[in-house]
């Protein structure tokens, strides 16, 4: 296990696919480099929603973890999302990325079926107890339907290897409560458009899809907020949210990929069942990039 400080700004890594849905390795390497060299992120969250992870085979997930590590080396922190409905796959991936030298593991709360909290707790303990590593819970209730209460976080944190949460929710009451109750556990803000209020409440970092393109502004918001310069941070959050609103209206991952293409990165297309980009989508995305980045 590495002892790297996990705090900071992480891109939820986009993955480049070709028209047949295969991983475009060269393009993926370029996305990693762009995040490090241009967006100046502190780390990458690999295999998340943004990486279209839940559409992929185990072998493809492993290949993406390998490529990201090979390209990033030890320059930045790396967190691997290994959560899956197939817990054997999660355990296998957890071992795989630990051997690769990933700094932490993350797992989405198990979804689709309505699991009891006891089952969810067992899922996390099973995945993390099999490896010498740290676990970041990935909580994203709007996609999974699973909410974790303050008390349940406490139960999960009884396992010393579970060190924090990627909190992709707008429930700032709960965020404040877990900040106060578990000051030594990490919280990463998961909604880029709500980074400023999350930073004010004292999160340790943020993990976001839009940082692949808008990482510089994200860092400015975070650092200004930490320095108490709320009005300046808000000005940048306003511009950021104009960008995010335009991106969401045009299709999240597709628009981010076209923006990366405009920045000279071969970000490819999305994997089915995500749709192809229409000409209109591409034209709009190019305009969005020009508006906020040229």
Residues that bind ligand MN9 (CB under 6 A): 12, 48-50, 168, 190-193, 207-210, 244, 252
Q: How far is the CB of 129 from ligand MN9 (least distance, A)?
A: 26
Q: How far is CA 51 from the centre of its chain?
A: 8
Q: Three-state DSSP class for 255?
A: helix
Closer to ligand MN9 by CB, 7 or 95: give it. 7
Residue 133 tokens read as: 């590593």
Closer to ligand MN9 by CB, 79 or 265: give it. 79
C-alpha separations of 142 from 92, 124, 128, 145, 250 in Å: 27, 20, 24, 6, 20
Closer to ligand MN9 by CB, 50 or 261: give it. 50
C-alpha separations of 179 from 108, 167, 183, 191 in Å: 20, 11, 6, 17
Give all strands (DSSP E) within 67-130, no chain letters: 77-81, 104-108
Q: How far is the CB of 132 from ligand MN9 (least distance, A)?
A: 26
Q: What H or E segment, with its residue span, contains residue 10?
A: strand 8-12
Is residue 157 part of the annotated active site? The answer reads no
Closer to ligand MN9 by CB, 170 or 202: give it. 170
Is residue 257 part of the annotated active site? The answer reads no
From 102, 138, 289, 292, active-site residue:
138
From 166, 182, 257, 289, active-site residue:
166
> Are 102 and 69 a contacting pair, CB within 8 Å?
yes
Q: How far is the CB of 87 from ligand MN9 (least distance, A)?
A: 22
Q: How far is the CB of 138 from ligand MN9 (least distance, A)?
A: 9
Where in the sequence numbering do the catalytic residues fall?
Answer: 138, 166
């Amino acid at each position: 296990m590495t002892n790297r400080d996990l705090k900071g700004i992480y891109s939820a890594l986009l993955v480049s696919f070709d028209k047949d849905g295969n991983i475009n390795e060269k393009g993926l390497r370029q996305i990693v480099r762009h995040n490090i060299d241009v967006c100046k992120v502190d780390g990458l969250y690999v295999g998340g929603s943004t990486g279209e992870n839940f559409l992929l085979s185990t072998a493809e997930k492993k290949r993406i973890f390998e490529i990201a590590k090979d390209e990033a080396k030890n320059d930045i922190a790396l967190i691997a999302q290994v959560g899956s409905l197939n817990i054997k796959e999660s355990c296998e991936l957890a071992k795989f990325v630990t051997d690769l030298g990933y700094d932490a593991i993350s797992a989405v709360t198990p979804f689709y079926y309505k699991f009891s909290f006891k089952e969810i707790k067992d899922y996390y303990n099973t995945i993390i107890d099999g490896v010498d590593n740290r676990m970041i819970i990935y909580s994203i209730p709007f996609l999974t339907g699973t909410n974790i209460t303050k008390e349940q976080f406490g139960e999960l944190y009884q396992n010393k290897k579970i060190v924090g949460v990627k909190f992709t929710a707008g429930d700032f009451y709960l965020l404040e409560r877990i900040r106060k109750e578990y000051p030594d556990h990490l919280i990463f803000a998961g909604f880029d458009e709500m980074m400023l209020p999350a930073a004010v409440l004292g999160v340790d970092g943020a993990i976001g899809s839009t940082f692949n393109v808008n990482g510089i502004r994200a860092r400015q918001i975070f650092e200004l907020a930490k320095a108490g310069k709320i009005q300046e941070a808000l000005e940048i959050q306003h511009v950021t949210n104009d960008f995010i609103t335009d991106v969401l209206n045009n299709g999240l991952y597709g628009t981010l990929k076209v923006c990366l293409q405009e920045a000279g990165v071969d970000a490819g297309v999305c994997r089915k069942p995500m749709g192809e980009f229409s000409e209109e989508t591409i034209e709009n995305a190019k305009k969005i990039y020009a508006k906020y980045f040229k």
